[in-house]
Amino acid sequence: MPDVLLEAKGLTRHFRIGGLRGRSLHAVDDLDMAISDREVVALVGESGSGKSTVARLLTMVYRPTKGEIFFRGKPVSQLRRRRDLLAYRGQVPMVFQDPFSSLNPAHTVGYVLTRGLKLHRRELGRRERQAEAERVLETVGLVPPAQVMSKYPYELSGGQRQRVGFAQALSYRPKLIIADEPVSMLDVSIRIGLLNVMARLRDEEMVSVLYITHDIASARYVSDRVLVMYAGHLVEYGPVEEVLQEPVHPYTQLLLSAVPDPRAPLGVTPPDVGEPPRVVDPGEGCRFRWRCPLAAQVCSQATPRLELVSPGHRAACHVNAPASTSTIATEVGS
């Protein structure tokens, strides 16, 4: 089994809203996850499920309310010195959703890349930085690199800009790239090229990727494992093929049935009440119960835990994955 690269335990982030009454929005609640070396993990969920909050927690944009993130076994909350923080951010960089606002319009691609290198890889000289910038551009498929270096963001298409984002992340010699909806703003015809870049990063550059998306079909295309989030909770995870062929959690099933697919037979869509999840002071119980066709009494009383379905595959559902008598509660990830 490959080594665990990054691990989150009991990761929780609440946001205070509504002034005096002090209500709190539970964006992420008690989330355990692990990412190993050289794997692409997809984090799937609808808007508002807390996926992006997880990305920001992992990249230390937000501090967790509770819980801890371990990078190669070391807790990241212990990183205090600027040099250590910089090193962590270099090893776990982020690629953003919007290629139109995440690049500085006033600088060329070459400047953006070499400046990042100056900051994160101080051992390199001027020439080496130039060479490294060209190498990463070539890796993400922006050729000829020398020409791309002198271009400004407005001269590039959305797909090309997003590739610059990946090139930038790659230049820091990362271990794990957090990609938050990297293709959702791009045209369908261009998306696939970028997904192929992500797969290549894993295979050739030995980088792990956390691919955050609401598109479960593209998650299947690039990822090895998939994590499904709903209203701040992890509701199911496992090897991607297994989860998609035999989804256990009713939310995963709903998500799969909603994917538009001309190759699928036109089936009867299960009625979806479509009520947005309640994440403001949610209390105990399964957060999917208001939309769930299987909801039972117990679902409003206790929050279901992630139970083992098969090796590496867990789901949190009282009905479809009832707690076994011998609860193995401590195993995290696969």
Interaction between residue 96 and another protein (CB under 8 A): no
Two structure tokens written together for 168 = 């930038």
Closer to another protein by Cβ: residue 144 or 276: 276
Interaction between residue 258 and another protein (CB under 8 A): yes
Closer to another protein by Cβ: residue 58 or 255: 255
Give buried/exposed letters for 7-36 (b at 16+ CB in 10 A, else e): bbbebbbbeeeeeeeeeebbbbbbbbbbbb
- Contacts (CB under 8 A) with another protein, residues 41-70: 46-47
Size of the site for another protein (CB under 8 A): 40
Of 33, 54, 244, 315, the one binding another protein (CB under 8 A) is 244
Contacts with another protein, 183-202, as mask; x by CB under 8 A: ----xxxxxxx-xx------
Residues facing 7 on adjacent strands: 34, 70
Least separation in angstroms between CB 74 and another protein: 35
Closer to another protein by Cβ: residue 19 or 262: 262
Q: In which residue are the tokens 């809203």 written?
A: 17
Of 257, 290, 298, 305, the one binding another protein (CB under 8 A) is 257
Interaction between residue 295 and another protein (CB under 8 A): no
Residues that bind another protein (CB under 8 A): 46-47, 157-160, 187-193, 195-196, 214-218, 220-221, 241, 244, 254-264, 266, 269, 272, 274, 276
